[in-house]
Amino acid sequence: MTSGWIALLDDLATLTKVAASSLDDAAGQAAKAGSKAAGIVIDDAAVTPRYVVGLSADRELPIIAKIAAGSLKNKLLLLLPGALLLSFFAPWAITPLLMAGGAFLCLEGYHKVVDLVRPGHGDHSEATTTAQTVEELEKERVSSAIRTDFILSAEIMAITLAAVASSPVWLQAVILGVVGTGMTLLVYGAVAVIVKADDAGVALARQSQGIVRALGRGIVLGMPLFLKVLSLIGMVAMLWVGGGILIHGLHELGVHAPEEAVHHAAEFVASLVPTMHGVLAWLVGAGIAGVLGVIVGALVDPLANHVLIPAYQKIKKRR
């Protein structure tokens, strides 16, 4: 009888080790997959604060919470099941869809480049004069933010799915859930800190003296510059990620020349300074992907403006 209990405990210990190993593997793959979506996360964190501009300070965090809840719903209830079904029934479609998302990132990055060169030229921000009350304006802002987030969330989930496509379905589900939840908390936690940084700075500047007061003033004066820098980093990251997705997608579809050309160029430049080989190779590869992103974005822009958007508006009117 004792030997039976010992055998059972041994089996439980073995199962525990297997489960722990699987969880470690899931955590590692989730971190690796999540890092590939860094550009989207940075841009999302840079863009989202504009949805609370012009609204009272006491409504900023509730609005961000509503957007975060909508984002989490998009990822876990819509995109995660859709990604698993796609992986099971049509895995061949993952790469083309991922490339379509990469082209969208290139388009978004291109718009930011145009705005940087010609400020206001590509300003498509929603008019707020149509809202009759503060409640309607808030609802409009939240709805708009969640719609934009859906597209970015779809790309995050697609990147994650592509990174774990060879894993078992249950592991894919766990990793997609971890990445989706983690990215949402990361983005909107950062957004909450950003939108409240001004208030914290003002409070420090008013109630404190000396170094603390100077810190408060520095926060207030530095936040506009910080947001501009964050937006710039997001723009570069989106172009790099989008271009990189397209290059790697072509490789997966059998067109190897672009990825090989980028690799050879990166290796050539990196070989000139052996002590910085890894850094230079990455910078050259990312730079080429970013330039490609701008080119693709410029090509997709007229297609989106004259074909895709009008077609979508016609379909929407018919509904």
Residue boundaries of the structural domains of the chain: 22-318
User: What is the H or E stretch that residue 39 is in?
Assistant: helix 38-47
Query: Of 82-86, 147-151, 293-297, which range is least confident?
Result: 147-151
Q: How far apart are CA 167 and CA 155, in angstroms?
A: 19
Kindly report the pTM of this predicted structure: 0.72
What tens digit of pLDDT does each residue of 215-229 get?
888 888 888 888 788
**Each residue's pLDDT tens digit, 259-306:** 999 999 999 999 988 888 888 998 999 999 999 999 999 999 998 888
The Cα–Cα gap between 319 and 277 comes to 56
Top mean pLDDT of 117-131, 173-187, 243-257 is at 243-257
- State percent of the chain over pLDDT 70: 78
pLDDT band at 44 (very low <50, low <70, confident <90, very high): low
Output the CA–CA distances (angstroms, integers) from residue 148 to 45, 47, 63, 76, 153, in the order listed.
Answer: 12, 10, 15, 16, 9
* 113 and 160 Cβ atoms separated by less than 8 Å: no
Q: For residue 51, what is the DSSP state? A: G
> Would you say residue 251 has pLDDT above 50?
yes
pLDDT reported for residue 168: 84
**Half-sphere exposure at residue 209, Cβ-oriented, CA atoms within 13 angstroms:** 0
Mean pLDDT of the chain: 78
Higher pLDDT, 148 or 240: 240
Query: CA–CA separation, 56 vs 36, rounded Å?
Result: 36
Closest CA to 258 of 41, 105, 102, 112: 102
pLDDT at 265: 93
pLDDT confidence of residue 15: 39
